[in-house]
């Protein structure tokens, strides 16, 4: 015998995470039913249950919706947090996705340490998400659709209702006499998700009544496949790593099958916190960087990030401009020196240099007398011997004495003269690039 809507929701919430709980509460039917069910749980309340409403400011009634959420939470005796966000379009995916992106960014930024964000996505939402990702040509990771659990900021995200239909939530809300907001934008088929909900899925259900359950099952199977792939990706990435987390061995990458290599590159980029690679990014890196000459300085750039090939390594990092060629300033070491384009140079362990020195950009042809040497070496060759990539050399600040002698290159090279002075005082330079 099928469970009643109340019993079905209670079953879905039976195993609560042993953490504080925060419900993402829009004021709509789904999150309203979830919040009401959790508020009826003494255990959830004991763990610090609260609600969180994100105010997008996109609808004329947005303030009224926030007030509705405050009234419902007050009636339930629950704390409500209201976050106002700015929705920025321009990613080519419309206002609906832009609002979702802003909402999840707020959740990730402000979720409490160890807290669980509970969202009310259900089986119908999962079907829509799977169809959208199929239409975008997603692979197993995307077709896993919405995961029941995943990391979120300093805590976790939990979707306990993915096995329940919207009809079950509606029946629960009606039986409990709940009030909720109906966002009129949900009835506009101009939005992709609404078009699927209003036009496509009803037609599919006419022919295949179990379509939603089948889609949910497919998403779960894809998640299992993605987990297996993820384990292999982690091993392959570990095998390609160098001592620098921002660099991978090109030789090790070339030894991987192309499909695995593409997944490893995307995983690496994500772990560095860089913008996701575009659709053709992995192919561009494969075609233009993996087999480039060791000294070619080949690169692929996107959305403020860049991957470069040099020697055996691929390097990934945010794009940073070189120091301006005419940059030069006097520095006495008493305070940190802010560098053009970001970064800082500091003297630690000493109050100041014995006399003001000149900090400046490279101009080419510089020579430095290294510790233990009596004759000068070209700075270019000294940096090459250290394995400093060319683009880092272009950002490297230099320090020279009043007589023009080169004393330091960032914190990578000291002259014999400066090295002795620093050692006497137990001091050093720190270059934060």
What pLDDT sits at residue 90? 52
How do beta strands 50-55 and 21-24 pair? parallel
Q: If pLDDT is split at 50, 70 and 90, which confidence band does 93 have?
A: low
**Dist CA 219 CA 355 (whole Å):** 67
- For 129, phi then psi, to 5°, come to -65, -45
Question: How is domain 241-318 classified at the CATH fold level?
Answer: Chorismate Mutase Domain, subunit A (1.20.59)
- Do 315 and 243 form a contact (C-beta atoms < 8 A)? no
For residue 105, give every residue at least 6 positions away whose Cβ sits within 8 Å of its Cβ, in sequence order, or none.
85
User: What distance lies between CA 255 and its chain's CA centroid?
Assistant: 28
SS3 94: helix
- Do 24 and 120 form a contact (C-beta atoms < 8 A)? yes
pTM of the model: 0.71
Q: How far apart are the first and last CA of the chain?
A: 65
- Do 33 and 172 form a contact (C-beta atoms < 8 A)? yes
According to the annotation, is 28 in a ligand binding site? yes
What pLDDT sits at residue 360? 97
| More confident site: 351 or 341 | 351
According to the annotation, is 232 in a ligand binding site? no
- Do 162 and 148 form a contact (C-beta atoms < 8 A)? yes
CATH class, domain 5-222, is alpha beta
pLDDT tens per residue, range 268-302? 999 999 999 998 999 999 999 999 998 888 999 99
According to the annotation, is 304 in a ligand binding site? no
Residues of the chain with CATH 1.20.59.20: 241-318
**Dist CA 249 CA 239 (whole Å):** 9
The alpha carbon torsion through 185, 188, 191, 197 (nearest 10 deg) reads: 100
- Residue 354 per-residue DSSP state: S
Residues of the chain with CATH 3.40.50.620: 5-222
According to the annotation, is 29 in a ligand binding site? yes
Q: Please state which of the ranges 84-88, 177-181, 220-224, 230-234 shows the lowest mean pLDDT.
A: 84-88
Decide if pLDDT at 89 tops 80.
no
pLDDT tens per residue, range 227-258? 999 999 999 999 999 999 999 999 999 999 99
What pLDDT sits at residue 352? 95
- Do 80 and 69 form a contact (C-beta atoms < 8 A)? yes
For residue 126, give every residue at least 6 positions away whose Cβ sits within 8 Å of its Cβ, in sequence order, or none.
145, 146, 162, 212, 215, 216, 219
Instruction: Name which of 183, 169, 158, 126 is nearest 32 in CA terms.
Output: 169
According to the annotation, is 49 in a ligand binding site? no
């Amino acid at each position: 015998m099928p469970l009643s809507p109340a019993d079905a929701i209670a079953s879905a919430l039976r195993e609560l995470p042993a953490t504080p709980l925060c419900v993402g509460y829009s004021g709509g039917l789904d999150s309203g039913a979830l919040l009401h069910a959790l508020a009826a749980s003494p255990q959830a309340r004991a763990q610090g249950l609260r609600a969180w409403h994100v105010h997008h400011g996109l609808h004329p009634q947005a303030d009224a919706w926030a007030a509705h959420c405050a009234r419902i939470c007050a009636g339930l005796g629950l704390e409500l947090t209201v976050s106002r966000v700015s929705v920025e379009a321009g990613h080519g995916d419309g206002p609906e996705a832009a609002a979702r992106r802003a909402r999840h960014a707020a959740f990730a930024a402000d979720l409490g340490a160890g807290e669980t964000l509970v969202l009310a996505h259900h089986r119908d939402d999962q079907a829509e998400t799977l169809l959208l990702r199929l239409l975008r040509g997603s692979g197993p990771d995307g077709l896993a659709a919405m995961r029941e659990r995943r990391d979120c900021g300093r805590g976790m995200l939990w979707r306990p209702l993915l096995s329940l239909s919207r009809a079950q939530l509606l029946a629960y809300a009606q039986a409990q006499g709940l009030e909720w907001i109906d966002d009129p934008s949900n009835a506009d088929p101009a939005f992709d998700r609404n078009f699927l909900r209003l036009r496509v899925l009803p037609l599919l259900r006419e022919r295949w009544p179990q379509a939603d359950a089948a889609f949910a099952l497919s998403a779960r199977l894809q998640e299992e496949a993605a987990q297996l792939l993820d384990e292999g990706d982690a091993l392959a990435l570990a095998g390609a790593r160098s001592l620098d987390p921002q660099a991978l061995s090109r030789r090790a990458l070339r030894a991987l099958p192309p499909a695995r290599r593409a997944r490893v590159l995307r995983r690496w980029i994500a772990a560095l916190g860089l913008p996701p690679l575009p659709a053709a990014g992995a192919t561009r890196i494969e075609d233009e960087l993996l087999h480039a000459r060791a000294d070619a300085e080949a690169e692929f750039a996107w959305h403020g990030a860049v991957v470069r090939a040099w020697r055996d390594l691929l390097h990934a990092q945010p794009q940073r401009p070189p120091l301006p060629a005419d940059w030069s300033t006097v520095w006495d070491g008493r305070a940190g020196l802010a560098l053009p384009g970001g970064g800082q140079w500091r003297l630690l362990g000493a109050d100041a240099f014995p006399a003001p020195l000149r900090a400046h950009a490279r101009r080419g042809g510089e020579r430095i007398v290294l510790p233990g040497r009596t004759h000068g070496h070209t700075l270019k060759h000294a940096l090459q011997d250290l394995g400093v990539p060319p683009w880092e050399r272009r950002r490297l600040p230099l320090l020279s004495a009043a007589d023009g002698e080169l004393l330091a290159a960032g914190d990578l090279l000291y002259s014999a003269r400066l090295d002795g002075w620093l050692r006497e005082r137990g001091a050093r330079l720190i270059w934060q690039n």
